[in-house]
Structure 1
Amino acid sequence: MQVSRTINSQLEDQLFKGKVLILYGARRTGKTTLVKNLLTKFSEKSAYINCELQEYKDALSTTNSGLLAEFIGNRELIIFDEAQHIANIGLVLKVLVDTFPQVQFIATGSSSFELSGMVSEPLTGRSRQFLLLPFSLEEIGQTLNPIQIKANLPNFLRFGLYPQVFNSIGDEKIEELAEISSNYLYKDLFQFEQIKKPDLLFKLLAAIALQTGSESSLNELAQITGTNVHTVKRYLELLEKSFVIFRLNSFSRNLRKELAKSQKIYFYDVGIRNAVIRNFNEMNLRTDVGGLWENFCITERIKFNQNHRRFVNIYFWRTYDQKEIDYIEEKDGHLTCFEFKYAEGSKGKFPSEFSENYPDSSFKVITPANFFELYK
């Protein structure tokens, strides 16, 4: 089933404006498919470069503008796919965009810890960055109507929305998730960061998966995995930078009883989360539905913000006496608060302590009955 990516129009709007376009995202989210679709509009004067191939690693191992000019030829658009495999890619891209401003360069990368570290300083002021995540329900709405999407919500919560998984049928979904979660997602971690304890990585992921929706303590994770806090912190950072997980920090400004240093950890795709703990049970057989729905909704909101270039700060909120808000966005001084309830008809309550202390705020309860409000 063909699904057009919302971010595609954002990329096209930035073409030929003198900037290198950097497209990040985990492996298997559709980056290559997206950029190859762009090539169809410039087929005669464009090139797709697979940077994992040695021939291109050798050709791009220089910043000599003369040699690079021979490589570019008369092309107008060049895509460097998985650009983190090119040594000094940031410097190479800097020379290219400065020397050939008429040419549009696009670089994709599945590991921001490698690619952004290479490009952030050399390309200061010369790039635009985008993040491609798995399908969103907003995008799936191109091919399924709202009634169909609502009917399939339980399956989306079980298997997530990776493109290959969405387009698979029955047990093939589990096969795809097993392959992605055991091989592809961590390929760059093992290659670039030389992770010496892959078993520890998977133990940590399982511990995070079992705490979905709850606050996560570095000390507790270290105890569960049998390692130290420093190692846990490093592994969490690497998992974030490879787009497996993300963290929410607690919102705290005015009240003494607000938790100030807590964090919650979520997966960018709940299918990967379920694959980590090998739990694809239907909703009526699960004890983790609340956390699963919370993770799913927060991720959908993040996709909405990324796809529409909405730049916001994101948090959760909790007090020592257990008053809480699942998710908060801060934009232009306004706070938008969300509570996520899987049971239809559930009515959350906006904590009075929060509304009184932060009067410029709003509150929404998201259930399966009104989940499309996430995309407003």
Structure 2
Amino acid sequence: MYSRYLREEIESRLGSGKAIVVIGPRQVGKTTLIESILETKDYLLLDGDDPKTRTLLTEPNTEQIRTILGKYKYVFIDEAQRIEGIGLTMKIITDRFKDVQLFTSGSSSFDLTNKINEPLTGRKWEYQLFPISWEEFETHHGYLNSEQQLENRLLYGFYPDVLNNNGDEISILRNLVNSYLYKDILSYSDIRKPEVLEKLVQALALQVGSEVNYSELAQIVHVDKNTISKYIDILQQGYIIFKLSSFSRNVRNEIKTNKKIYFYDNGVRNMVIGNFNPLDLRTDKGALWENFLISERMKQIEYKQSLARTYFWRTKQQQEVDFVEENSGKIIGYEFKWNKKKTSRLPKTFVESYNAESNVIDKDNFREFVIMK
């Protein structure tokens, strides 16, 4: 089992009088993480996928909750987004049963977060869990073994099931994409055209690392621009993709409104386009490298509670910086190259206009980017 970075942070919150909420995509190990924290404790597991549990926990009063909890001091509600009114139930447990430590997990942020945010204001510690990070992978396998597997990780990604089934990665990813990517999102959101969602995800997968234009996507998928915007938001809330906005302050001709879209996991991205060819046979090697680096950096920013804000930068003259971080007034630009090139450098306009630090990240130095100190 992979040791998760968040475990220590969550354990430090035990007994704080607040609920501990872990959200993130399906199959990334939320249940495994919480159960490993509780393995030495006597705890009550309430599974939101179970119809009887859903009935019991839908709008119960205080006395009914007292009966359900019994003498348990640790309570874990798994797949909580399936339970109607779960936010109010969690509020009652947190407010009325002070000696109970409540844990909750959920797969879809657009569903669970909406249900618990208002009732649990000031009453929860919330954490996002993603597929295994490079840091967690390296801790488990060691430096040398991890380096040897770098190309495989660019192809197959970091879902725990994928990592634990060497040689069967494509079947695992196919099942993951078919069962979760579309079905789960369709069941939790108001999407009436699943075929449109599928076409859109494929179009986004082919444009990783490039700016996306909602009007062009609308033409490709044959829907209007507002539908594209709505579906992209749902895919982001469902932990399939995330957006980077353009960085713009004062330089004339900067691109100000476009977005770049990345996938949380390279393996999911490659399954969507049905391509697991080796890196030396691919034309999208640069895009895979960029997606890997940025998705890993986003995990680090979240796990280490960094205040960094993230962007890309480009001008109408095609000057470009792959990734920009702004933190405490300091601006750092990053250029990503699979192979080291002595001539690689960031545009002079960007560096001078923003007094920016510049970095080129390649295979030789990528660890310092994907593991934040």
Scaled to the shorter chain, the TM-score interval is over 0.9
> What are the Cα deviations for residues 130-179 of structure 1, in whole angstroms up to 9, with x where unaligned?
11111111101123222222221111111111111111122x10000000
Distance 1:345 1:48, change over 3 A: farther
SS in 2 for 1:326: strand
Is 1:10–1:308's contact at 8 Å kept on the other side of the alignment? Answer: no
Residue in structure 1 matched with residue 237 of structure 2 by the alignment: 241
Taking the aligned partners of 1:323 and 1:85, their CA distance within structure 2 comes to: 47
Is 1:186–1:242's contact at 8 Å kept on the other side of the alignment? Answer: no
The answer to whether 1:355 aligns with 2:355 is no
Taking the aligned partners of 1:187 and 1:211, their CA distance within structure 2 comes to: 23
The one-letter code sitting in structure 2 at the alignment partner of 1:191 is S
Map 1:25-36; keep pairs closer than 5 Å: 25-36=24-35
Map 1:1-376; keep pairs closer than 5 Å: 2-42=1-41, 44=42, 46-170=43-167, 172-345=168-341, 347-359=343-355, 361-374=356-369, 375-376=371-372
Taking the aligned partners of 2:2 and 2:342, their CA distance within structure 1 comes to: 32
Percent of matched pairs sharing the same residue: 39
- Where do 5+ consecutive residues of structure 1 fail to align? none
TM-score, structure 2 length as denominator?
Answer: 0.96
Aligned pairs, how many? 371
Cα offset for 1:55? 1.1
> What are the Cα deviations for residues 90-134 of structure 1, in whole angstroms up to 9, with x where unaligned?
111111111112211111111000111111111111112111111
The one-letter code sitting in structure 2 at the alignment partner of 1:226 is H
Larger deviation: 187-196 or 324-333?
187-196
Is 2:321–2:334's contact at 8 Å kept on the other side of the alignment? Answer: yes
Distance 1:346 1:296, change over 3 A: farther
Is 2:182–2:194's contact at 8 Å kept on the other side of the alignment? Answer: no
Is 1:81–1:107's contact at 8 Å kept on the other side of the alignment? Answer: yes
> What are the Cα deviations for residues 316-355 of structure 1, in whole angstroms up to 9, with x where unaligned?
1111111111112222222232211111345531222222
Is 1:269–1:296's contact at 8 Å kept on the other side of the alignment? Answer: yes
The one-letter code sitting in structure 2 at the alignment partner of 1:371 is F
The one-letter code sitting in structure 1 at the alignment partner of 2:185 is L
Taking the aligned partners of 1:219 and 1:130, their CA distance within structure 2 comes to: 35
Is 1:63–1:91's contact at 8 Å kept on the other side of the alignment? Answer: no
Q: Say what the alpha-carbon RMSD is for the aligned residues.
A: 1.4
Taking the aligned partners of 2:303 and 2:6, their CA distance within structure 1 comes to: 5
Is 1:213–1:295's contact at 8 Å kept on the other side of the alignment? Answer: yes
Distance 1:22 1:347, change over 3 A: farther
TM-score, structure 1 length as denominator?
Answer: 0.95
The one-letter code sitting in structure 1 at the alignment partner of 2:17 is G
Taking the aligned partners of 1:357 and 1:14, their CA distance within structure 2 comes to: 43
Is 2:59–2:88's contact at 8 Å kept on the other side of the alignment? Answer: no
- Where do 5+ consecutive residues of structure 2 fail to align? none
Distance 1:336 1:14, change over 3 A: farther
SS in 2 for 1:183: helix
Cα offset for 1:191? 1.5
